[in-house]
Copies of this chain bind each other. A is one copy, B any other.
């Protein structure tokens, strides 16, 4: 028989993963700690939570990204259902953006598992056919300001470990191969710090979803106060004019 370990209720109590919601969780945990309890089944210590909170905070808000634009366009079209607008934005939290964090985390896992960290990093760089996930940025050059901030939190709290070291090894190998410095972007740093904080790769996208959900609610709130949906719509129509195709396929 299949079962769930997530939650159960009785008239005077609610258990979430074996703990009493009214007596052990409400007023005792932050949202971040509760997220960890629900997703990885335990509440990390204060140091790991500090590192995880730093990663979540780094992911919340990136300005008018495709996700934020989708949320605003849908909110303006269906303001009766804020949940639809937020859901539309979250649907963009996929392969092109958070997929990169997962891809980077998989490389880090490979480096961490190797006997010789630098040799493995060089091998990964040598065999890469596309830009390495976690490296490079259009705007933030030579360095992404979030990366040292994330590393600093992870180090202050003693959380930085083998995955951060692996990311730095990859960076050294990449710079050597390219003969110039390539940015370690925030996505790479988040992947390394979350991994060192004990978050499995398979649920990293979930952490990004919660952080982005917070950011998208911020976009809805701004859209309520001073809507820009029509400006986005009109700008897009101007930027992408109609022109018949020569031949369709």
**A interface list, Cβ under 8 A from B:** 1-18, 21-23, 25-27, 29-32, 34-35, 38-42, 50, 53-54, 56-58, 60-70, 73-74, 76-88, 90-97, 99, 139-141, 143, 145-146, 148-150, 152-153, 156, 200, 202-203, 205-207, 209-211, 213-215, 217-222, 224-245, 248-249
The answer, among B35, B78, B224, for a CB contact under 8 Å with A81, is B78
The answer to whether residues A84 and B87 also contact, given A35-B217, A60-B31 and a CB cut-off of 8 A, is yes
Q: Is the CB of A54 within 8 A of B27?
A: yes
- CB-CB < 8 A to A219: which residues of B? 6
Q: Is the CB of A94 within 8 A of B80?
A: yes
Query: What residue in chain B is nearest A90 (Cβ atoms)?
Result: B87
The answer, among B31, B77, B213, for a CB contact under 8 Å with A66, is B77
- In angstroms, Cα B149 to Cα A154, docked, is 33
The answer to whether residues A149 and B27 also contact, given A203-B217, A206-B217 and a CB cut-off of 8 A, is yes
For A156, A228, A248, the residue with the greatest tally of chain B CB atoms inside 10 Å of its CB is: A248
The answer, among B91, B206, B233, for a CB contact under 8 Å with A69, is B233
Q: Is the CB of A88 within 8 A of B64?
A: no
For A30, A65, A141, A148, the residue with the greatest tally of chain B CB atoms inside 10 Å of its CB is: A30
Q: Is the CB of A7 within 8 A of B149?
A: no
Q: Is the CB of A38 within 8 A of B215?
A: yes
List 27 A-B residue pairs with CB atoms under 8 Å apart, sorted by A's residue number: A3-B241, A4-B64, A5-B248, A6-B68, A9-B63, A14-B145, A17-B244, A21-B57, A27-B57, A38-B61, A38-B221, A41-B245, A66-B74, A66-B233, A78-B93, A78-B96, A80-B95, A81-B81, A84-B87, A87-B90, A87-B91, A88-B88, A203-B217, A203-B220, A207-B217, A210-B210, A235-B238
Q: Is the CB of A232 within 8 A of B242?
A: no
- In angstroms, Cα B203 to Cα A92, docked, is 19
The answer to whether residues A3 and B240 also contact, given A12-B140, A206-B217, A224-B203 and a CB cut-off of 8 A, is yes
- CB-CB < 8 A to A143: which residues of B? 12
Q: Is the CB of B6 within 8 A of A63?
A: yes
- In angstroms, Cα B76 to Cα A60, docked, is 20
Q: Is the CB of A7 within 8 A of B61?
A: yes
Query: What residue in chain B is nearest A27 (Cβ atoms)?
Result: B153
Q: Is the CB of B77 within 8 A of A92?
A: yes
